Amino acid sequence: MADATKATSARSGQTASQAASPAAGVDKLSFEQALAELEAIVGNLERGSVPLEESIIMYERGEALKARCDALLKAAEARVETITRDADGRPAGTAPLDADG
């Protein structure tokens, strides 16, 4: 099983520590990195060529990557929502993200 985990880690670009803990390092990935890895995992799982135990580990990693992408998207959305508009609805500047300034 250890060889299979190493093989999966190599295919998905994971390190040994990521294979041991599926969510390891996810919080340091950019949106683009997390999305690319998530797409690779989905592709591997859709092909069905991965043994069950590896599939479970990959699925758990995919869940962590999805959560990371969601968090980054929500943060970006909040930043966009702070763009202020003038009376005609055109962007006029930005407002602080937090209400305190």
pLDDT tens figures, 17-55? 445 689 999 999 999 999 999 999 999 999 998 999 999
pLDDT tens figures, 47-81? 998 999 999 999 999 999 999 999 999 999 888 87
pTM score, whole prediction: 0.65
Residue 45 near residue 58 (C-beta atoms within 8 A): yes
Q: What is the mean pLDDT of residues 1-6?
A: 39
DSSP for 15-56? Answer: -HHHHHSTTTTGGG--HHHHHHHHHHHHHHHHHT-S-HHHHH
Does residue 4 surpass a pLDDT of 80? no
Nearest CA to 41 out of 11, 73, 3 is that of: 11
Does residue 3 surpass a pLDDT of 60? no
Which has the minimum average pLDDT: 7-11, 48-52, 90-94?
7-11
The enclosing H or E element of 85 equals: strand 83-85
Domain ranges of the chain: 2-94
Let me know the angle formed at the C-alpha of 84 by 78 and 85, rounded to the nearest 5 degrees.
Answer: 130
C-alpha–C-alpha distance, residues 43 and 2, integer Å: 22
pLDDT at 96: 64
pLDDT at 2: 39
